[in-house]
Amino acid sequence: MLSAAVANEPVRRRRQVRGGEPMAYVDLGERLAAELPTHSAFGSELQNERSLLPRILYATPEMADFVKTGGLGEVAGALPRALRRHYDVRVLIPGYASVLAGLQGLTIVARLGAFAGVPACDLGYGTTPDGLGVYVLIAPDLYVRDGTPYGDARGDFGDNDLRFARLGRAAAELAAGLDPFWSADLLHLNDWQTALAPAYMAWLGIRRPSVLTIHNLAYQGLFPREHLGRIGAPDYAFQMDGVEFYGQLSFLKAGLYHASHVTTVSDTYAREITTPEGGCGLDGLLRTRAAQGRLTGILNGIDESWDPRTDPHLATPFEADDWKGKRANADEVRKQFGMAVSRGPLFAIVSRLVHQKGIDLSIAAAESIVAEGGQLVVIGQGEGRFEEALRDLAGRHPDHVGVHVGFRETEARRIFAGSDFLLMPSRFEPCGLAQMYAQRFGSLPIVRRTGGLNDTVEDGVTGFTFADASPRGLTSAITRAFATFGQKKRLNAMRRTAMSREFGWDQAALNYCGLYARAFGNNAARRWKAA
* Closest C-alpha to 83, from 472, 524, 517: 517
How far is it, in rounded angstroms, from Cα 493 to Cα 498? 9
Distance from chain centroid for Cα 310: 24
Q: Could you give the angle at the alpha carbon of 68 between the alpha carbons of 62 and 71, nearest 5°? A: 90
Phi, psi (degrees; rounded to nearest 5) at 479 = -60, -40
CA distances to 106, 162, 251, 453 from 202, rounded to whole Å, are 31, 19, 14, 36
Say which residues have a Cβ less than 8 Å from residue 123's Cβ, sequence separation at least 6.
108, 109, 110, 111, 112, 135, 136, 137, 138, 170, 174, 178, 179
Q: Sort strands 244-245 and 248-250 into parallel, antiparallel or unpaired.
A: antiparallel
DSSP class of residue 419 equals -
Number of H helices, E strands in the chain: 21, 23
- Binding-site residues, please? 68
Q: Sort strands 464-466 and 444-448 into parallel, antiparallel or unpaired.
A: parallel
Q: Which helix or strand (DSSP H or E) is residue 74 part of?
A: helix 71-83
Distance from chain centroid for Cα 329: 28
- Give me the amino acid identity at 518: R
- Does residue 465 contact residue 421 with C-beta atoms inside 8 Å? no
Order of strands, edge to edge, in the sheet holding 222-224? Answer: 222-224, 248-250, 244-245
How far is it, in rounded angstroms, from Cα 312 to Cα 315? 8
- Does residue 172 contact residue 206 with C-beta atoms inside 8 Å? yes
If 0-12 CB within 10 Å is exposed, 13-18 middle and 19+ buried, where does residue 449 land? middle
Distance from chain centroid for Cα 366: 30
- Does residue 150 contact residue 73 with C-beta atoms inside 8 Å? no
- Binding-site residues for ADP-alpha-D-glucose, please? 68
Query: Where in 38-77 does DSSP place strands (E)?
Result: 55-59
